[in-house]
Structure 1
Amino acid sequence: MDGPADLQPCLDALPLAALLLGPSGVVAANALAHEMLGREAAGIGARVIAAVDRHGPGAARGVLDAGEGRILEFALGPSCGGHRVALLRAADADVRLRHRLERRLEFERLLTRSSAALMRSGDARLDGEIETVLGNVGGFFDVDRAYVFLIDEAAGTQSNTHEWTAPGVSREVQNLQGVPLDTFPWLLERLRGDAVFSYDRLEDLPPAAQAERREFEREGIRSILIVPLWSGARLRGFIGFDAVRRHVAWNESYVVGLRLLAQMVAGALDARALARQLRRQAMHDALTGLPNRAYLRQRFLPGSACHAGTLVGVVDVDDFKRVNDHHGHAAGDAVLREIGKRLTDVLGPEATVARLGGGEFVVVEPSPSEPATRLAARLVGIAARPFEVAGSLQAIGISLGMVEARGPACLDALLERADAAMYRAKATGKNRWVLAGTDLVTEPEFDTLPD
């Protein structure tokens, strides 16, 4: 086959816009193609080349959206010597109508698949599924970047949490974390008013959007569409689509569907947040925020969950009923929260402090950095500093029973031994610790106030 230069006269003699396509893009174009497509010739050629994958090496016909309201018909000739000729013309009214209906139906099917995928994703897979949905919708509109931003009202920031980009397009997610809400005030005001932010060309942005325009230009954006993402009556964030390689004219008929997509994503994120909250409530003590008995059972479910050297302790607040009876339950609750905090501060980062109920706590230290006796003394010593109770300082003791696993052991068995040791500590005077399996009984760590 002749080279592109030799074929140029043949292309120029054709009565329709014609592109000579090679494996890597547009090789040559006739004058009619330049007139019809202008600077978009290379991009249109690349999209016609995609038909090769769909139709194989034979001839093919199709319709494509060239952007800015242009619908083109193309005929793709068979491959010869690695080149193909594509003929293009503006679609007539019937073809445009049929194309719009087919695209609308395809978009609705895409939304249905996206909804099903988000509902089925589950906690661990949700983030990946959201980015897959962004990619599918971004591909449908032939844009280059699609993303989700979530707002943190308490921190006064917004962050890019999910992003999809077309090949060769820069990722911006790492540059857009913890962005102050007042960075883009004009955009935020429109989103809070439930307006869709849609611009085919950045030149059309008003003077009030200077901060937004600078950021869009930094990212190489030529056209942009942003849809607010709501959680009930609260603006949770937004979903955006950027066109970088070419201008895109956003079709208003798709805006309702994109709003629906935003609510699908918001619903999936809300459902995950609620599920996490319920799991946390089921596994944590409501008063102190510490893990509870259910957490311990799940965390240490296997029979050999506690390895040799693990220290397990049962802590009980001495005469806790007296605190409640004399000072009220609110004061008792404050004491329990403070004890939980002090126990946590004593232990290492891998340790677990749990509240079983009443004034009883459990500590599990899988990697102790000191002997059991020293750790036990430090744990009981947390009560040496008086507690503020109903406006006055009170000395409140705790009793501790501790056991050291001599080999792989079940937590329940260790807790049973630690519990028995704790009751020995109480029986011998309270405000002290006992190490299970020894005759060691300590003296009181400090003096508590009398009744």
Structure 2
Amino acid sequence: AVISTAIVALVAIIATLDATGPVIMATTTAEDRMLLLQTFLACQLLISLPVASILEDRASQAANALHREQTLRSEAEKARRQAELANRKLSIAAARDDLTGLFTRTRIIQKLEKLIERHADKDTPLTVAIFDIDHFKMVNDRFGHIAGDEVLRAIGQIARDAMPRRFEIGRIGGEEFMLLLPGQAVETAAGYAEQLRLAVMTLSGQQAQCGVTISVGMTEARMGDTVKTMMRAADLALYAAKSSGRNQLKRAA
């Protein structure tokens, strides 16, 4: 707009000084031509001022629109990050048992599925142990369900403290737990399970009054094993441990 107005004014000035153009048709004296040229330039100025104002207003609106867009993008990104964080928290909460802090049944079984696939691909050893609390019903009946919950919570803490972090532990039933020992043959895994069994017997306070012990059944993955077959083998070994007097460890046949 500025350039076009300047060009028109320059052309008018040159044409007037050269005695050509429409100014010559309106008057014959130089003074009248100069006066008419000044009037013309004044009109050009008056026209350019509102145009400049409109353009400035549009530039301001464009800048505001850009700022709003950037603000909206920033808010959208912030909302996206908050949603991702909330989803991660929900995912973590869904994966953990509220009482013991161990993995839920669904999540520990998912982890077992992945470990079985890895075992099949790389032929690395994998042992699964299922253990539960001996006579847990008697604990609830004698000391109450609150005491029973405290026992479960204590078992979860002991299991986390006693086992290396590379092992996974989950609660798969009321008083039943599953321990995954990747990279461990059943012979070496039995040492870890025995360590856990002995640690449970060191419970102190009210839990010690309950006389808590655990029985453990173990099995090592074989070619063609699935989650179902491994859990069944460990369950049978656990049943054998309970049938033999409880508070002991048995391996699958």
Q: Could you state the TM-score of these two structures normalised by the residue count of structure 1?
A: 0.40
Does residue 404 (structure 1) correspond to residue 220 (structure 2)? The answer is yes
- Kept in 1, the 8 Å contact 2:130–2:234? The answer is yes
Partner residue, 2:125 = 309
Q: Would you say the 8 A contact 2:130–2:218 is kept in 1?
A: yes
1:377 paired with 2:189, answer no
Partner of residue 108, structure 1: 68
Following TM superposition, by how much is the alpha carbon of 1:420 offset from its aligned partner in structure 2, in angstroms? Answer: 0.8
Query: Which of 80, 86, 90 is equivalent to 1:268?
Result: 80
Cα distance, 1:327 vs structure 2:
1.3
1:277 alignment partner in structure 2: 89
Q: Is the 8 A contact 1:354 1:362 kept in 2?
A: yes
User: Residue 99 of structure 2 corresponds to which residue in structure 1?
Assistant: 287
Aligned residues: 199
Give me the whole-angstrom Cα distance separating, in 2, the residues matched to 1:270 and 1:321. Answer: 43
The letter of the residue matching 1:384 is: M
Aligned twin of 1:352: 168
Give 1:389 shift: 2.0
- CA–CA separation in structure 2 for the residues paired with 1:331 and 1:396: 11
Answer 1 or 2: higher relative contact order, Cα 8 Å, separation at least 6. 2
| 2:143–2:210 contact (8 Å) kept in structure 1 | no
**Structure 2 vs 1, CA of residues 374 and 300 (structure 1 numbering), >3 Å: closer, same or farther?**
closer
Specify whether residues 306 and 421 from structure 1 end up closer, same or farther in structure 2 by C-alpha distance, changes over 3 A only. Answer: farther
| Paired amino acid for 2:170 | A
Distance 1:363 1:303 in 2: 12
Where does residue 327 of structure 1 map in the other structure? 143
Residues 1:434 and 2:246 are matched in the alignment: no
* Equivalent residue for 2:236, pick from 420, 426, 437: 420
For residue 265 of structure 1, report the CA deviation from its aligned partner: 4.7
Does the 8 Å contact 2:127/2:219 carry over to 1?
yes
* Whole-angstrom distance in 2 between the partners of 1:278 and 1:101: 42
Unaligned 5+ runs, structure 2: 1-50
The 5 A counterparts of 1:13-24 are none
Q: Over residues 400-442 of structure 1, what are the superposed CA-to-partner deviations in whole Å (9 max), with x where a residue is unaligned?
A: 00111244632332111001100110111111110111xxxxx
The RMSD of aligned alpha carbons is 2.7
Q: Tell me which amino acid in the other structure corresponds to 2:243.
A: A
| Distance in 2 between residues matched to 1:326 and 1:313, nearest whole Å | 28
Q: How far off its partner does 1:102 sit?
A: 1.5
Alpha-carbon separation, structure 2, partners of 1:351 and 1:328? 32
Correspondent of 2:58 among 88, 93, 98: 98
Q: Where does structure 1 lack aligned partners over 5 or more consecutive residues? A: 1-90, 115-132, 134-260, 438-451
Residues 71-220 of structure 1 correspond to what in structure 2 (within 5 A)?
92-111=52-71, 114=73
Per the alignment, in what secondary structure is the counterpart of residue 197 of structure 2?
Answer: helix
Tell me which protein shows more helix as a share of its residues.
2
- 2:219–2:251 Cα contact (<8 Å) kept: yes
What residue is the counterpart of 2:27 in the other structure? none
Shift of 1:110: 4.1
Task: Describe the shift of the 1:269–1:330 C-alpha distance in structure 2 as closer, same or farther (beyond 3 A).
Answer: farther
Amino acid at match of 2:202: R
Checking the alignment, whether the CA contact within 8 Å between 2:116 and 2:221 is kept in structure 1 is no
* CA–CA separation in structure 2 for the residues paired with 1:368 and 1:378: 15
**C-alpha deviations, 1:173-228, integer Å up to 9, x for none?**
xxxxxxxxxxxxxxxxxxxxxxxxxxxxxxxxxxxxxxxxxxxxxxxxxxxxxxxx
Task: Report the alpha carbon displacement of residue 361 of structure 1 after superposing the two structures with TM.
Answer: 0.4
Per the TM alignment, residue 98 of structure 1 is displaced from its structure 2 partner at its CA by: 1.9
AA at the equivalent of 1:107? H
How far off is 1:319 after superposition? 0.6
Aligned counterparts of 1:312 and 1:366: Cα–Cα separation in 2: 8
Distance 1:422 1:431 in 2: 10
Which 4+ residue blocks in structure 1 deviate beyond 6 angstroms?
none
Letter in 2 for 1:378: Q
Report Cα offsets for 1:340-360 as digits up to 9, x if no partner.
121222222211000012110
Counterpart-to-counterpart distance in 2, 1:355 and 1:301: 16
Per-residue deviation, 1:271: 2.1
Q: Is the 8 A contact 2:130 2:179 kept in 1?
A: yes
- For the Cα contact (< 8 Å) 2:134–2:214, is it kept in 1? yes
Secondary structure of the 1:315 match is strand
1:48-71 deviation per Cα after TM superposition (whole angstroms, max 9, x unaligned):
xxxxxxxxxxxxxxxxxxxxxxxx
> How high is the sequence identity, in percent, across the aligned residues?
29
Q: Distance in 1 between matches of 2:177 and 2:168?
A: 10
Distance 1:381 1:306, change over 3 A: farther
